[in-house]
Amino acid sequence: MDLKLKIWRQASREDKGQFVDYEVHNISPDASFLEMIDILNDELVEKGEEPVAFDHDCREGICGMCSMFINGHPHGPEAATTTCQLHMRKFKDGETIVIEPWRAKPFPVIKDLIVDRSAFDLIIQEAGYISATTGGVPDANAIPIKKEKADLAMDAAACIGCGACVAACKNASAMLFVSAKVSQFALLPQGRIEAKDRVKKMVAKMDELGFGNCTNTYACEAECPKEISISNIARMNREFIGAKLG
């Protein structure tokens, strides 16, 4: 496959940044998207040029580090797929591919396609956890939990915090991420003890960091590589209202 690439290049947070055109040739349809970028970078290094900076870690669709905005879609055109699991067969020979970083004020560009997503870490640090006594390992079935609740909690916990929901939202809202982290605890008895403080603190931190409000366009759910449901947003809203009134 021969492809034309328009890649956002930005040397630092202070740099203005711009799109730069590249071409890659003889790319295997079975190569992953990141492998294609690797090939481009090898060529750039051989020419004495600066390689394209991008985030990656596991390359197994687990960590969410491989965040790129590809042809108008977070992580690319294939649903429920992270960038590292996207393969070049999803594109056509000769196609032009536009590659950008996440575009959100709380996610400032560090360099090229890498953004600072530490805002998510700050939200989790605020209250995204439970307090548990350390010591002996408790029995797994010590607290009975309905399977329906356990399944929903596990579905919410599948969120990898990649930020695709923020990138997809016209308001740069982090509601899907925060609601998933609230839900994974709110659905379980172990998380109910601190539930009111948790939702109030996490929502407050989200607002403080400059994320926008949710206007129910469903773009976050549509672009989420782990298919996190917006029903979690409704649950978080109920938790938040209940915490404020109670």
CATH number at residue 173: 1.10.1060.10
| Residue 96 and residue 124 in one domain | no
Instruction: For residue 66, give Cα distances in angstroms to 13, 62, 151, 203, 225.
Output: 19, 10, 27, 26, 11
Task: Please write the tens of the pLDDT for every residue from 139-161.
Answer: 767 888 999 999 999 999 999 99
Model pLDDT, residue 131: 87
Residue 219, strand partner residues: none
Task: Please write the tens of the pLDDT for every residue from 18-44.
Answer: 999 999 999 999 999 999 999 999 999
| Residue 8 and residue 41 in one domain | yes
Model pLDDT, residue 140: 66
Q: Is residue 139 part of a domain?
A: no
pLDDT over 70 at 111, yes or no? yes
Question: Residue 124: which domain range?
Answer: 117-131+144-245
pTM of the full predicted structure? Answer: 0.95
Q: Is residue 136 part of a domain?
A: no
Number of domains observed in the structure of the chain: 2
| Residue 122 and residue 230 in one domain | yes
| Residue 122 and residue 229 in one domain | yes
DSSP 149-184: HHHHHHHHHT-----HHHHH-TT-B-HHHHHHHHHH
DSSP 138: P
In angstroms, the CA 204 to CA 47 distance is 49
| Residue 148 and residue 71 in one domain | no
Q: Is residue 47 part of a domain?
A: yes
Residue type, 95: E
Q: Which residues contact 231 (CB under 8 A, 6 or more apart)?
A: none
Instruction: Report how far Cα 15 is from the mean position of its chain's Cα atoms.
Output: 24
Model pLDDT, residue 154: 97
| Residue 69 and residue 177 in one domain | no
